[in-house]
Amino acid sequence: MSPPPPSMPEPAAAMPASSKAGEVRAISSDELRKHAKAGDLWISISGDVYDVTAWVAHHPGGDIPLLTLAGQDATDAFAAYHPPSVRPLLRRFLVGRLEDYAVSPASADFRRLLAQLSSAGLFERVGPTPKVQVAGMAVLLCVAFYCVLACASAWAHLLAGGLIGFIWIQSGWMGHDSGHHRITGHATLDRLLQVLSGNCLTGLSIAWWKCNHNTHHISCNSLDHDPDLQHMPLFAVSSKLFGLWSYFYERTLVFDAVSKFLISYQHWTFYPVMGFARINLLVQSAVFLFSKRKVPQRPLEIAGVAAFWLWYPMLVSCLPNWWERVAFVAASFVITGIQHVQFCLNHFSSEVYVGPPKGNDWFEKQTAGTLDILCSPWMDWFHGGLQFQIEHHLFPRLPRCHLRKVAPFVRDLCKKHGLPYAAASFWEANVLTWKTLRAAALQARKATSGAAPKNLVWEAVNTHG
């Protein structure tokens, strides 16, 4: 969920029915659960109950986070994604007070730590990382263009392709950071950086990424709600995914003969496929932009992606022959594949579950479904903040420069409440991921496939993640 922009007008229909002055209606949890659909959506925050039905269509974070937490307590998720300044905006949606409101010890400690970090001003102190990133990406882009346009060596051309891939990785980290918090202090400048470094530079729609990523955070490691675990027909981390309904993609994750064959060998195909996973993201961005889903500033998003499909093919066409062009594109995609592997390491081997997340066990679910990557401080640039994935999931608005400082406090909280705090080296995380994929592959070989396979083009287009 995201804070509403100051410029957005308040929809008149969002106003709840007024009650007598001084009266606060008592609402039970059972009654709250009855209002859990798009046309009748209530949530509870800090014990107050809000009717946000009319706000769903205007929510900057999209409708999925609200629909996912509808009819239940959403205090921790709200606090994690919104600054305190957003709280007063809730008053116009107030309908009553939850009479049986309770807070678990873990949630209480999480909220205290969140308040301490906010009081210390850590959420506003971004540090120099974004500026260094922009400068570094600009330099590397100039070097890549020079290698293609001014050098005759095939090795220089191959190097240029690798540099483009490395730039795409850094662009991914920048898009991730700017999607969670303001990296410049100015919303318009942040938006400009998102479109330039994301849509224009990589061909990936930032609007598509936000929709996908917000859902992932809210439904971390829910097999039927988290799109980051729904990679069929190529990959499955659990046999429970076979034939499961995806609430994000609104379709069944078909387990047919093609899926069974591909998943049965996924522990061997994982790394080769990750080398070219960028193709899938490009396809998903295009499908999203031309879908019926609500896309903020759709023309701008499409224009940005179109800019990528102008400059990148033109740069490739400047190479002298076809084998160098193929090598250039392959180098770009394979280098970027490192980032796609990193995305998987943090969650593939962690605990999974079926069903929607529950707002009152936010702390527990985020820690159980996430894995930190152990590394030295000088390697932080390589992981882009994802090495502290547990901390990032608990405090998504926290700039990455503070994650290492916060990690010991989170570790202590987990120990205090007997919750898992999973951490492994980069190598160990890869081994755990491989073992998870192998276990699911063996289950796929024994399972009976369902529907008859469609054509391979259909399968490729419907490969998500």
Residue 321 three-state SS: coil
Burial code (b: 16+ CB inside 10 Å, e: under 16) for 36-58 equals beeeebbbbbbbbbbbbbbbbee
**Where does the pLDDT of residue 22 fall: very low under 50, low under 70, confident under 90, or very high at 90 and above?**
low
Closest by CA to 281, choosing from 224, 216, 198, 225, is 198
Task: Compute the CA torsion angle 353, 355, 357, 363 (nearest 10 deg).
Answer: -20
40-45: strand order across its sheet: 26-27, 94-98, 48-51, 40-45, 36-37
**Where does the pLDDT of residue 427 fall: very low under 50, low under 70, confident under 90, or very high at 90 and above?**
very high
Domain with CATH 3.10.120.10 in the chain: 12-102
Mean pLDDT of 391-405: 95
pTM attached to this predicted model: 0.88
Give, in words, the CATH class of 12-102: alpha beta
Amino acid at site 134:
V
Mean pLDDT of 446-458: 60
Question: Which residues are bridge partners to 41 per DSSP?
Answer: 36
Do the beta carbons of residue 450 and residue 243 sit within 8 Å? yes
pLDDT tens digits, residue range 60-92? 888 888 999 999 999 999 999 998 888 898 999
pLDDT tens digits, residue range 25-70? 899 999 999 999 889 999 999 999 999 999 988 888 888 889 999 9
Do the beta carbons of residue 264 and residue 444 sit within 8 Å? yes
Query: How many helices (H) and strands (E) would you count in the chain?
Result: 20, 9
pLDDT tens digits, residue range 94-150? 999 999 898 989 999 999 999 999 999 999 999 898 899 999 999 999 999 999 999
Do the beta carbons of residue 203 and residue 312 sit within 8 Å? yes
Do the beta carbons of residue 400 and residue 353 sit within 8 Å? no
Do the beta carbons of residue 207 and residue 303 sit within 8 Å? no
Q: Report the pLDDT value the prediction gives residue 357, as an integer from 0 to 100.
A: 85
